[in-house]
């Protein structure tokens, strides 16, 4: 596909997202109906779509368009990237139709117009006050960081290899990495991340994809051999695998929707780990030395990876999530044995989902105390993330 044809494809996909389709679903649907597109084309189109979504407000402003559309976003994307929209929007090579007179005039006017701060930072107006309270002087730097693509991080499986051995195995297949200071088993992929899932290091369980921040949060947990650990909101099981990789043999994984854990047995086998998957009924009456609850949240810390979530989030949705988080905290806390620990985690930067939830839990649940908590900032490389460790007396 030509660059112009890729732009045209991105426009179609973005129109679907604007209409309410999730970005991943829109991309998958387009790929299935355009099977002539090769892997490189699909990757390039995905990058165009995600870049436009990360910078949705500023790209629309740069186009000068009054109404949002996939076409307006891509006109703004080309202009903001230093290109000439007229050279791309020319109707040739299966590309988008030429710019009309109104589009040219709006582009010219937008080029010299002042852009409000929240538009330039691609931040929804309604959530800005809460993010300012949570981030303080880091508000603008963090939001600016969220406008760019996230790095790719790996967790080396200590059961299979040392970090330098895993890095050497990846390098032999052309995948360059570098170690991440402060997190023992983390590698950042610096070249050829697209080759990762076909590499021997990945297929043989030497490495797993996992962001830097949750890796650091798991490493900070009070883990010891032989302890009973429950990953209460396991999802795909990334934290359960990281805990098992640290030498904890008795790891259980649970999720309210067991279908989310469908791939966990195969991932655990590849990693050489034994992880029990437990239903809600199977947890009745059981107690654990450590319960990890990485709860459903707004995902404000992961806007680089799921940029359409930024624009789907609403105040009503956030209020609903906060209610669910409080319920999960109560249920997860009931699974902790006396003297045990509860780790509450989110991929959010909002105080309402983080420390405020912990404080409310402590206020309504006697016998608990906060040991430590931490916000992991995107300015440190990984996603925005929160982790609090509580203990039950």
pLDDT tier, 112 (very low <50, low <70, confident <90, very high otherwise): confident
Q: Is 55 a catalytic residue?
A: no
Q: What is the tens place of the pLDDT at every residue in 206-242?
A: 999 999 999 999 999 999 988 999 999 999 999 999 9
On whether the pTM is more than 0.75, the answer is yes
Name the nearest CA neighbour of 148 among 51, 254, 8.
Answer: 51
Looking at the structure, do residues 387 and 291 belong to the same domain, yes or no? yes
pLDDT of 393 above 90: no
Q: What is the tens place of the pLDDT at every residue in 34-75?
A: 988 898 999 999 999 999 999 999 999 999 998 999 999 999
Residue 145 located in a structural domain: no
Q: Of 161, 179, 209, which closes a domain?
A: 209
Q: Which domain holds residue 204?
A: 152-209
Looking at the structure, do residues 260 and 387 belong to the same domain, yes or no? yes
Find out whether 357 and 379 touch, Cβ atoms under 8 Å. Answer: no
Active-site residue, selected from the candidate residues 55, 123, 180, 347: 347
Looking at the structure, do residues 189 and 259 belong to the same domain, yes or no? no
Q: What is the tens place of the pLDDT at every residue in 297-320?
A: 999 999 999 999 999 999 999 999
The CATH number assigned to the domain holding 272 equals 3.40.50.150
Looking at the structure, do residues 385 and 315 belong to the same domain, yes or no? yes
Q: CA 315, 321, 323: angle at the middle one, nearest 5?
A: 110
Q: Half-sphere exposure of 288 toward its Cβ, with a 13 Å CA cutoff? A: 28
Q: Taking residues 160-167, report their average pLDDT.
A: 95
Q: Angle of helix 70-80 relative to helix 3-18, nearest 10 degrees?
A: 130
Looking at the structure, do residues 368 and 353 belong to the same domain, yes or no? yes
Looking at the structure, do residues 202 and 267 belong to the same domain, yes or no? no
d(CA 313, CA 306): 12
Looking at the structure, do residues 29 and 109 belong to the same domain, yes or no? yes
Residue 254 located in a structural domain: yes
Q: Taking residues 275-282, report their average pLDDT.
A: 94
Q: How far is CA 79 from CA 13, 47, 193, in A?
A: 19, 16, 28
């Amino acid at each position: 596909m030509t660059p112009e044809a890729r732009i045209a494809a991105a426009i179609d996909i973005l129109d679907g997202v604007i209409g309410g389709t999730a970005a991943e679903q829109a991309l998958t649907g387009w790929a299935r109906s355009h099977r002539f597109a090769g892997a490189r084309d699909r990757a390039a189109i995905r990058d165009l779509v995600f870049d436009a979504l990360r910078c949705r407000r500023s790209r629309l402003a740069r186009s000068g368009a009054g109404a949002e559309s996939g076409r307006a976003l891509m006109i703004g994307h080309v202009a903001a990237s230093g290109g000439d929209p007229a050279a791309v929007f020319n109707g040739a090579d299966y590309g988008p139709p030429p710019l009309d007179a109104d589009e040219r005039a709006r582009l010219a006017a937008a080029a010299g117009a002042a852009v409000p701060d929240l538009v330039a930072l691609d931040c929804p107006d309604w959530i800005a006050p809460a993010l300012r309270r949570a981030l303080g002087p880091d508000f603008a730097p963090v939001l600016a960081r969220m406008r760019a693509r996230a790095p790719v991080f790996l967790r080396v499986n200590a059961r299979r290899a040392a970090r330098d051995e895993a890095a050497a195995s990846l390098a032999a297949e052309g995948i360059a990495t570098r170690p991440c200071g402060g997190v023992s088993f983390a590698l950042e992929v610096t070249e050829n991340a697209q080759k990762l899932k076909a590499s021997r290091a990945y297929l043989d369980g030497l490495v797993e994809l996992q962001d830097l921040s949750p890796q650091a949060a798991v490493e900070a947990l009070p883990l010891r051999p032989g302890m009973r650990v429950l990953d209460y909101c396991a999802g795909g099981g990334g934290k359960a695998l990281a805990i098992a990789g640290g030498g904890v043999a008795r790891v259980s994984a649970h999720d309210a929707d067991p279908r989310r854990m469908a791939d966990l047995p195969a991932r655990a086998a590849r990693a050489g780990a034994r992880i029990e998957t437990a239903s809600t009924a199977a947890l009745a009456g059981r107690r654990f030395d450590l319960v990890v609850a990485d709860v459903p949240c707004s995902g404000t810390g992961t806007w680089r990876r799921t940029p359409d979530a930024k624009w789907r989030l609403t105040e009503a949705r956030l209020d609903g999530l906060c209610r669910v988080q409080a319920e999960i905290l109560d249920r997860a806390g009931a699974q902790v044995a006396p003297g045990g620990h509860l780790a509450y985690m989110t991929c959010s930067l909002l105080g309402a989902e983080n420390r405020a939830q912990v404080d409310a839990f402590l206020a309504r649940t006697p016998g608990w105390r906060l040991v430590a908590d931490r916000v992991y900032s995107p300015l440190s490389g990984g996603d925005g993330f929160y982790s609090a460790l509580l203990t039950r007396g």
